[in-house]
Structure 1
Amino acid sequence: MKKVLSILFIFCSVVSFAQTDEEKIKASINQVFDGMRKNDTTLVRQVLHPSCFLKSIGKNKSGEVRLQEDAIIDWLKQIGTKRDGIILDERLTSYDIKIDGEMAIAWTPYEFYVNDKFNHCGVDVFTLMNTDKGWKIVGIVDTRRKENCK
């Protein structure tokens, strides 16, 4: 009887520590911003799919809506470039995650700070896929604005 109770206890403990897909997705996304704050591109790369894309939607100076695509390698170089006394901090304010099998999207409003000084806000939309190595980010599309942030 003791052996059965021990096995049952171990099983229940393992189940209670298992992360849900939503928690794993949040962890992948948070790892990007942890890496950004630490200037650690290795941390960021661990959660990016090799085919990951990065795009921004916004208005140009004449007010026209535009789609800008940035090369992931250039973004990683920016992240990895240490600037003495400068901390870039993108703070997500919420998550709205939708999952369909091996695909997920996460709508994450954010506020961006440079050394705790507000710079801009917007929304990041992450597209992720579940791989044998966990949830990987296959695409990031964001918006950026300085008005109507709060």
Structure 2
Amino acid sequence: MKKLFLAALLIALSAPAFCQTDKEDIKKTITTMFDAMRKGDSSLLRSVFAEGIVFQSAGAKKDGSMVLENEKPDGFIKAVGTPHKEIWDERITWGDIKIDGPLASAWTPYKFYLGSKFSHCGVDFYQLMKTKSGWKIIYIVDTRRTDNCPG
């Protein structure tokens, strides 16, 4: 009985370690995306995206009504890899990361800069899936504005 209790205790205590490793791997996947943007490396960018990734942006129209815009991931990947004058520098702070088996979500407030010039800010919300080759981003939705930036 003691051995069974000890084994159950060891398993219970090791669970947070597995979760922490997954959280670090999720952060690495998202960080790699931003590294790829700064480098203008579309191959590196594509490596963190799952097949069929979905991009959306939520925001307000000029009349104040809300809109959810669908974006084309291939267009974004191509734009990142096309030479441009300024470095695309998205700076995030880590918010909440939640994991349930092979599915995870991450909330990251951000500020986006073209070179050293502030462009816009908001929040990125990611959904990721754990695959045989690691965590892949399957969905990104963001907000965009130029004031009242999240901390």
The TM-score range, normalised by the shorter chain, is: 0.7 to 0.9
Could you say what secondary structure the match of 2:141 adopts? strand
RMSD, aligned α-carbons: 1.4
Aligned to 2:142: 142
- The answer as to 2:71 corresponding to 1:35 is no
Contact 1:37-1:89 within 8 A present in 2 as well: yes
In the TM superposition, structure 1's runs of 4+ consecutive aligned residues that sit over 2 Å from their partners are: none
Write the letter of the residue equivalent to 1:107: W
Q: TM-score if structure 1 supplies the norm length? A: 0.84
2:11 paired residue number: none
Q: Distance in 1 between matches of 2:140 and 2:93?
A: 17
Query: Identity of counterpart residues, as a percentage?
Result: 49
CA contact (8 A) 1:93 1:111 kept: no
TM-score for both structures, normalised by structure 2: 0.84
Match of 2:63 in 1: 62
Count of residues in Structure 1 that have an aligned counterpart in Structure 2: 132
| 1:62 CA displacement | 1.4
Residue identity in the other structure for 2:22: D
- Measured after TM superposition, the shift of residue 82 of structure 1 is 1.0
Gaps spanning 5+ residues in structure 2: where? 1-16
Describe the SS at the equivalent of 2:35: helix
1:47 & 1:59 partners in 2: Cα distance? Answer: 29
Shift of 1:63: 1.3
Structure 2 counterpart of 1:58, which letter?
G
The letter of the residue matching 1:131 is T
Q: Whole-Å Cα distance in 1 between the matches of residues 79 and 63 of structure 2?
A: 27
